[in-house]
Amino acid sequence: MKDLAYLNKFLWKYRWHMLPGILFVIISNIFGVLPAQVIRIAFNLVTDNIGTYHLFNGFERQGIIYNIFGSSLMLFGFLVLALALLRGMFLFFMRQTLILMSRHIEFDLKNEIYAHYQLLSLAFYRRHNTGDLMNRVTEDVSRARMYLGPGIMYTINTVVLFVMVIYAMISVNLRLAIFSIIPIPILVTSIYYVNSIINHRSEKIQQRLSSLSSFVQENFSGIRVIRSYVREGFVQDSFAAESEGYKTQSMSLVQVQALFYPLMLLLIGISNIIIIYVGGVEVMKGNVTPGNVAEFVVYLNQLMFPVISLGWVTSLIQRAAASQKRINEFLHTKPEIVSVNNYYRKLKGQIVFDNVSFTYPDTGIQALKNVSFTAEPGQMVAIIGRTGSGKSTIANLIMRMYDTTGGGISLDNVPLTLQNLENYRSQIGFVPQEVFLFSDTIANNIAFSADVLDMPRVEQAAKDAAVYHNIIEFEKGFETMIGERGITLSGGQKQRVSIARAIVKQPQILIFDDCLSAVDTRTEEEILNNLGNIMHGKTSIIIAHRISTIKNADKILVMDHGEIVEQGTHDSLMELKGNYFELYEKQLLEEAESEQ
C-alpha cells in the first residue's frame, strides 16, 4: 500500500477536482437514502388508511377518499422520481470530477514515466525487454488509474452510504438493523475471495495473450524466413498450441465468473428474506410498522451495491499497489549516465583515449583493454579488426552510451564525464551499425535532429550521402513513407539515408560504425570523397571491415581482442607486415577470387 503513496502528489495537484467530487458523492447519497423514507411514509399511509377506505364501502365518500389517497400516492411517486433524478444529476457530477481527475493523473503519470525512460542508460534497456517497458507505461498505469478513479470514488461512496443507511436503520429499529448488517461481512468476504480468483485467472490470461501477441509479431516480422524454409505448417501448429493455452485459461475464468453472479444474487436474496421475516415478527410485536419493513428492504438493497463494490475495490487497490510498485521501481532507477553541468561550448573535435578499459555491466564481457589513441581535429581515424574485437564499443564510449570502467576519455582536454551531454551529443553525427529508420517520410528521417525541416539542407545531405538519385526516383521523392506504413528500402539505401541523417547536422565529430558494408565500392568512394569536403577541419571516426574503405585515413587502429595491436597510416602498417598486412593480403585474394 505504501507504494500508492507516490500518487498522493497528484491527488494534491488535482485537489480541486477531488474535493468537489467528494461533496458530490455525499449529496448524491443523501438523495439516494431519502426515497426509502418517502416509501415508508407512503406505505404507512396505505396501511393506516386502507381500513377507513373499506369502512366507507358502498358510500359516496369512498370515491373522495380514493381520490385523496390516489393523489397522495401520486405525489409520493413524483417525489421518489424527483429524488432519483437529483441523485442521477449528482452522480454525473461525481464522475465528471473524480473520474476526470483520474484521467488527468493517468496522463501525467504516463508522461512522467516516459520522460524518465528517456534518461535511462542503454544498460537499463538491455536489462529489460520491450514488452516489460511498454507494460509499465500502459497496463500498470491504467491499473493505478483504477485506484485513483473508481477505487477512490467507490470507497468514498461506500463509506458515506454505509454511515447514512446504518444511522437511518438504527434510528428506526436496532434489532432489525443488526439483522440487516449480519450478512454483509459474509457477502464482502465471499465477493473479495471470488474476485481474487477472477483477478488471478485474468492475470494468467493476460500473460497468455502477451506471449500470443509476441509469437504472432515475431512470425510476421520473420515471414520471409518462414516461407523460404517452408515452415508454415510448423508455425501454424505452434500458433494452435499457444492459442490452446489461451483458450484453457479463458474457460477457467468463465467458470468462476459464471458462479460469481448467482452467488451474489443468492446472498442478496437470503438477506432480503431475513429482513422480511424478522421485520414481520417485529410488526406483529408492534415494535415497527409495515412501512418500516419496506423502508428496510430499500435500505438493504441500497447497501448491496456498495458491499459488492467493497470486495471489488479491495482487490482493485491490491492490484493497483502491485502495479505502482513496478512503476516506482523504474521511476526510482537512477540514470547511470548523468550530465553534470550546463556548460555549453563548441567542440573542436580532439578525442583522447587514455588507457581505456571497458567491461559491459550485464554480461561481464571485457570489450576493451588499455586502449589509448588520439584523434586530432581534422583527422580521419579508422578502426579495423575482427568481429567482436571492440570497435563498436569504442563508438559507444565516445557517444557516452556507457562510462569507461578504467582509464578516461577526454574531448578538447575536458574529461567526457564533465561535458554537458545534450550539448556534446548534438555536435556528433553517429551512424550506428544497425540502421534504424522511423516509419515516417524520408525527409523527416533525414532531418530527424532538427526541429524544423530545412529542405535544401536535407537534399544536400542526401546528395553527399549518394542517395539523392535513389530518392527522387520514388514517385513521392523525399515525401515517400518508409517503414511499416510505406516502402522498404534496400540495405544500402537505408545505410545511406542514415548517413544523410548524420551529416545534415553538420557535426563536429562524425562516427561511422560499419555503415558502408552494404554499399558498393564505387558509391563508397563517392561518399568518402564528399566526406573529405564536409568534414574538413572536423574529426571523423570510421569503423570498417574493408581496407578499401579506410586506406586513405590519417590514422588506422587495428583492433584484436579489445586491444589496439597496431596503429599508423596505411603505408606504415603495410611496412610493418603484421595483422593489417595479413588482412590486406587476404582481402586482395578474396577480391581476385570473386572477380574470377
Ligand X SMILES: Nc1ncnc2c1ncn2[C@@H]1O[C@H](COP(=O)(O)OP(=O)(O)OP(=O)(O)O)[C@@H](O)[C@H]1O
Q: Which residues form the interface with ligand X (CB under 6 A)?
A: 126, 360, 362-363, 365, 367, 385, 387-393, 433, 514
Non-local CB neighbours of 285 within 8 Å, separated by 6+ positions: none
3-state secondary structure of 335: coil
DSSP state of 150: I
Nearest residue (CB) to ligand X, 31 versus 512: 512
Distance CA(40)–CA(289), nearest Å, equals 9
User: Which of 47, 455, 120 lies closest to 288 in space, CA to CA?
Assistant: 47
DSSP collapsed to 3 states, 270-318: HHHHHHHHHHHHHHHHCCCCHHHHHHHHHHHHHHHHHHHHHHHHHHHHH
User: Which of 11, 7, 24 lies closest to 95 in space, CA to CA?
Assistant: 24
Shortest Å distance, C-beta 317 to ligand X = 39
Nearest residue (CB) to ligand X, 120 versus 307: 120
Nearest residue (CB) to ligand X, 527 versus 544: 544
In the block, cell 569504442 appears at: 394
CB neighbours (10 Å) of residue 469? 9
Shortest Å distance, C-beta 157 to ligand X = 51
Nearest residue (CB) to ligand X, 249 versus 392: 392
Shortest Å distance, C-beta 430 to ligand X = 14
Distance CA(529)–CA(463), nearest Å, equals 12
User: 503 near 534, Cβ under 8 Å?
Assistant: yes
Shortest Å distance, C-beta 565 to ligand X = 13
Q: Which three cell numbers stand for residue 185?
A: 461481512
CB neighbours (10 Å) of residue 316? 20
User: 480 near 486, Cβ under 8 Å?
Assistant: yes
CA quadruple 495, 497, 501, 504: dihedral sign: positive
Distance CA(288)–CA(3), nearest Å, equals 49
Distance CA(283)–CA(277), nearest Å, equals 10
User: Which of 413, 394, 402 lies closest to 564 in space, CA to CA?
Assistant: 394
User: 525 near 491, Cβ under 8 Å?
Assistant: no
**How many CA atoms are closer than 13 Å to the CA of 293, on its beta-carbon side?**
19
Nearest residue (CB) to ligand X, 63 versus 491: 491
Q: Which three cell numbers stand for residue 278?
A: 424478522
Shortest Å distance, C-beta 210 to ligand X = 25
For 134-154, give one letter per residue: b (16+ CB within 10 A) or e.
ebbbeebbbbbbbbbbbbbbb
**Strand partners of residue 382:** 542, 556
Nearest residue (CB) to ligand X, 39 versus 516: 516
Nearest residue (CB) to ligand X, 16 versus 436: 436
Shortest Å distance, C-beta 127 to ligand X = 10
Shortest Å distance, C-beta 351 to ligand X = 17
Nearest residue (CB) to ligand X, 204 versus 369: 369
Distance CA(275)–CA(295), nearest Å, equals 11
Distance CA(170)–CA(292), nearest Å, equals 12
Nearest residue (CB) to ligand X, 129 versus 236: 129
Nearest residue (CB) to ligand X, 1 versus 365: 365
Nearest residue (CB) to ligand X, 349 versus 432: 432
Shortest Å distance, C-beta 141 to ligand X = 28
Nearest residue (CB) to ligand X, 387 versus 596: 387
Non-local CB neighbours of 232 within 8 Å, separated by 6+ positions: 226
Shortest Å distance, C-beta 555 to ligand X = 17
State the amino acid at position 233 in one-letter form. Answer: G
Shortest Å distance, C-beta 387 to ligand X = 3
User: 267 near 188, Cβ under 8 Å?
Assistant: no
Shortest Å distance, C-beta 383 to ligand X = 8
Shortest Å distance, C-beta 514 to ligand X = 6
